[in-house]
Structure 1
Amino acid sequence: MYLADRSAPAGEKTAPGAGPGRTPAVAPAVLALGAVSLITDISSEMVTAVLPLYLIAGLGLSPLGFGALDGVWNGVSALVRLTGGHLADRIRNHKLIAGLGYGLSALCKPLLLLAHSAGPIGLVLALERTGKGLRTAPRDALISLSTPAEQQGRAFGVHRAMDTTGALLGPLAAFFILSAAVGGYDAVFGVSACVAALGVVVLILFVPGRAARGAAAAAVPAQAPHEGGPTAPAVGLREALALLRVPRLRALVLCAALLGLTTVSDAFVYLLLQDRTGLDARWFPLLPLGTATVFLLLAVPAGALADRIGRRTVFLAGHALLLAGYGLLLWAPALPALPHLVLALHGLFYAATDGVLPAAVATTVPGELRGTGLALVGTGQALARVACSLAFGGAWTLWGPGPALAAAAAGLLCCATVAGFVLRDPRATSPARPQAAPPAEPARRP
């Protein structure tokens, strides 16, 4: 098994306050971005938690109409991600583009107070998802450019853990607001707008505009084209498209999309679990909290493990855990422990993949094209998952839940096997190991 070299290269500078040979576990910029994501996710998940009920029960939208709107929103977010990543690289200001994305999402929250029909609400939410797509790649680029190559997995794990904390707190906040406030849904939307504005303020005040030059240089593989630097050439569309000629990045794009085509969406996993176990409907809203709790607890250890033993190994192991969850849903007896086991495997899957994939991309793409590279992989994966949701919904309607899940499991097994073959070179997903310089010839005295 490939083990990453954890020793620091000779002559590498340590951060202020760190002892010789030691670097901070997580850069301050990563913690600041994690705080922004935590606050923003509280705001977003407050709306997400009540939106289906608000649209269907409150405004009379059909489930089919809601599903179509949800697919459009996710598709918009995935496509805009490419624009955000490339634009941030082109103007060389990832914080500005990320800030525009966070700001657009924050501005959309109070607009929900003015929209009282499905059409305007759909437009507002499409703009909100546009902001999310705009900020994702620049934010991840800032994380990677602030972190040495051998700590990328840990850094993304810390960020994803903080992000997931917000995802846990958001639905709980919405629950308490709906229980206590007179305004109902409008109260949730109003509080969500205030929280989103706080996230933008934290971004402006505490996230540095430029990544540390030393960390950024450490995160760029020596063999990648277009080495970054103060005099790096301007990034245009031609340079961005040329990234697809990099074999390692092309392999990551292919595998992320291939595995996304067989990754059943979270909502369907929870519906399958309820169908399989006969879980009471009142407990259904708590199922996402089970996945999120496991993800929160294990995101950092999984990222650190990926830094040590190789990101390919952990990434593929995550999909093996998801396949095991599918197997339990298909064949395990409907015991009381089944929901806990499935949710634990589901959370483990996210812990082993959600931060590990961008960490792998970060050590493959040069610094001045980091946002574009992250956007290419993320967009391919997101669009593939949208296609999987549409296909799985159709298969469920035609064949029933069991055969549909069996087909998805067979597809995931095949795609994971192909991904294991394509990513067999550990350098594609593991931290770049510095080549040791030959020992200097000792000076001879005459």
Structure 2
Amino acid sequence: MTMPDPQQQPSPARVRPAIPTTVWALGFVSLLMDVSSEMIQTLLPLYLSAGLGVSVLAIGFIEGLSVAIATATKFFSGVLADISQRNKPLAVLGYGLGALSRLIFPIAGTVDLVVMAKAMDRVGKGIRGTPRDALIAAVSPPDIRGASFGLRKSLDTVGGFLGPLVAIAVMMLMAGDIVAVFWIAAIPAALAIVVLLVFVHEPKTAQPANRPRFHLSQSLKLNRAVWAVIGIAALIMLARFSEAFVLLKSLDAGFTPTWVPLSMVIMHVAYGLTAYPVGRLSDRVGRDGLLICSLVFLIVAHLTLAFADNVALYIAGTVLWGLHMGFSQGLLGAMIADTTPNALKGSAFGTFNLVTGVVVLAGNTAAGWFWESYGSAMPFLIGATISAVAIVLLCIKMLRAARSV
């Protein structure tokens, strides 16, 4: 009788680690805060244009400025996270500012107060975004990193789905009272703070005694791979301007103000159903090809929305836009985490958000100008063209990577 050769025995199947509790908790924090945010954001463009008489160009600038403020704050938040090696306190501060801003929107009877409330909200978003992503990267093993970022995005989009539904319900119950929606939006924001304080835990990492002190110049020493991801992301953000323009386009398609938030419900359903599965898939097959798929969805969404003069065509465009979001948002965060050393993850996410925020400010302002100068179709047609350029650059990146193997 011969003994089996141990070297010929099949190796046990490798068990994929479970997604950490902290990731789930951060996902539910995002869900609750997004319910609050979407209750306001889905009606704010109408409130500005119909209630306060603000032009589309000004709305585009306000939206872009809000994103720019958030992303500039994200850069410094990331640097602070790398200096302190603590992420949760910054996340609490950021979410807390966002929750406090909810109390300003209902009393904002002028454009100045609306801008102040949005600025406060966006500063909070800027402070919390980078440490939140750094927390996810820190607690997630590399082989489930895409799934972790995708799960957080999916739960976030559940909030994006529920928020507009709540807004529609309140609008129907309160006879179209937008201010009442703004007041109720403060409740889920407060609940988000409770979940963050109780269930999110900073990972305990042993720091060597001779660990070198952090210097600001380190945040500028990101490698070429990180900058390549940031460059592609900036181009995508230039092509995909604010959803405020998608909301305004719904009026061309025949929506009444009460039902405008429904477009965000549809978009977030498509977004939420795809973000987590796509994140898991990217851990196995790579991220570049899936990002190209997201841009194909964006091109078709732009072309559909450009000519959407009825409800059916508009809904198709919002579904495609949501699919683009689901195929791209979690991937970009995972790609930054993949290419960045652990000591600089906060700075990398901060730089990523700073660059894309500046691009969004320019892109949103330009979209508003093109809308007013050449009609509502023009921003979408330009967005489709820029998306096609991004696809070409991603294909070149993939070819270079294949040749270097």
In the superposition, the TM-score normalised over structure 1's length comes to 0.79
Cα deviation, residue 267, structure 1: 3.3
How far, CA to CA, are the matches of 1:254 and 1:197 in structure 2? 36
How far, CA to CA, are the matches of 2:179 and 2:303 in structure 1? 42
**Which residue in the other structure is 1:200 paired with?**
193
Moved more, 101-110 or 130-139: 101-110
Cα deviation, residue 364, structure 1: 1.1
Cα deviation, residue 229, structure 1: 6.0
Q: Deviations over 1:171-218 (max 9, x none)?
A: 2223333443599455433332232122111111100022678xxxxx
Task: Answer yes or no: is the 8 Å Cα contact 1:310–1:426 preserved in 2.
Answer: no
How far, CA to CA, are the matches of 1:341 and 1:115 in structure 2? 34
SS at match of 2:43: helix
* Partner amino acid, structure 1, of 2:77: G
**Which residue in the other structure is 1:249 paired with?**
226
**Which residue in the other structure is 2:216 paired with?**
237
In the superposition, the TM-score normalised over structure 2's length comes to 0.86
Cα deviation, residue 231, structure 1: 5.0
How far, CA to CA, are the matches of 1:298 and 1:110 in structure 2? 33
* Partner amino acid, structure 1, of 2:288: R
Q: Does 1:84 align with 2:60?
A: no
Q: 1:135 aligns with which of 128, 151, 154?
A: 128
Task: Answer yes or no: is the 8 Å Cα contact 1:54–1:185 preserved in 2.
Answer: yes
**Which residue in the other structure is 1:12 paired with?**
none
Q: Does 1:350 align with 2:332?
A: no
Q: Deviations over 1:6-38 (max 9, x none)?
A: xxxxxxxxxxxxx98324331111001001111
Task: Answer yes or no: is the 8 Å Cα contact 1:71–1:386 preserved in 2.
Answer: yes
Q: 1:367 aligns with which of 339, 342, 345?
A: 342
How far, CA to CA, are the matches of 1:308 and 1:103 in structure 2? 37
Q: Does 1:318 align with 2:311?
A: no
**Which residue in the other structure is 1:104 paired with?**
97
**Which residue in the other structure is 1:288 paired with?**
264
Cα deviation, residue 294, structure 1: 0.6
How far, CA to CA, are the matches of 1:129 and 1:115 in structure 2? 16
* Partner amino acid, structure 1, of 2:291: F
* Partner amino acid, structure 2, of 1:149: P
Q: Does 1:260 align with 2:237?
A: yes
SS at match of 1:352: helix
Structure 1 gap ranges (5+):
1-18, 214-227, 428-446
**Which residue in the other structure is 1:386 paired with?**
361
SS at match of 2:383: helix
Q: Deviations over 1:289-348 (max 9, x none)?
A: 2111111111111111111110111112211221233344568x9787534432332111
How far, CA to CA, are the matches of 1:171 and 1:203 in structure 2? 23
How far, CA to CA, are the matches of 1:156 and 1:97 in structure 2? 19
**Which residue in the other structure is 1:41 paired with?**
34
Q: Does 1:396 align with 2:396?
A: no
How far, CA to CA, are the matches of 1:145 and 1:280 in structure 2? 44
Moved more, 170-179 or 349-358: 170-179
Call closer, same or farther: CA 1:98–1:424 in 2, change over 3 Å.
Answer: farther
Q: Does 1:304 align with 2:315?
A: no
Cα deviation, residue 386, structure 1: 2.8
Moved more, 141-150 or 104-113: 104-113
* Partner amino acid, structure 2, of 1:118: V
Call closer, same or farther: CA 1:57–1:388 in 2, change over 3 Å.
Answer: closer
How many residue pairs end up in the alignment? 391
% identical equivalent positions: 32
Q: Does 1:171 align with 2:148?
A: no
SS at match of 1:208: coil
How far, CA to CA, are the matches of 1:422 and 1:155 in structure 2? 25
How far, CA to CA, are the matches of 1:318 and 1:380 in structure 2? 20
Q: Which has the higher contact order (CA 8 A, sep 6+)?
A: 2
* Partner amino acid, structure 2, of 1:242: K
Cα deviation, residue 418, structure 1: 1.7
Structure 2 gap ranges (5+):
1-11
* Partner amino acid, structure 1, of 2:216: L
Task: Answer yes or no: is the 8 Å Cα contact 2:98–2:124 preserved in 1.
Answer: yes
* Partner amino acid, structure 2, of 1:418: L
Cα deviation, residue 153, structure 1: 1.1
SS at match of 1:261: helix
* Partner amino acid, structure 2, of 1:318: S
How far, CA to CA, are the matches of 1:107 and 1:360 in structure 2? 32
Cα deviation, residue 369, structure 1: 1.4
Cα deviation, residue 97, structure 1: 0.7
* Partner amino acid, structure 2, of 1:255: I
* Partner amino acid, structure 2, of 1:138: P
Task: Answer yes or no: is the 8 Å Cα contact 1:263–1:408 preserved in 2.
Answer: yes
SS at match of 1:21: coil
Task: Answer yes or no: is the 8 Å Cα contact 2:304–2:314 preserved in 1.
Answer: no
Cα deviation, residue 114, structure 1: 4.8
Moved more, 19-28 or 66-75: 19-28
Cα deviation, residue 269, structure 1: 4.1
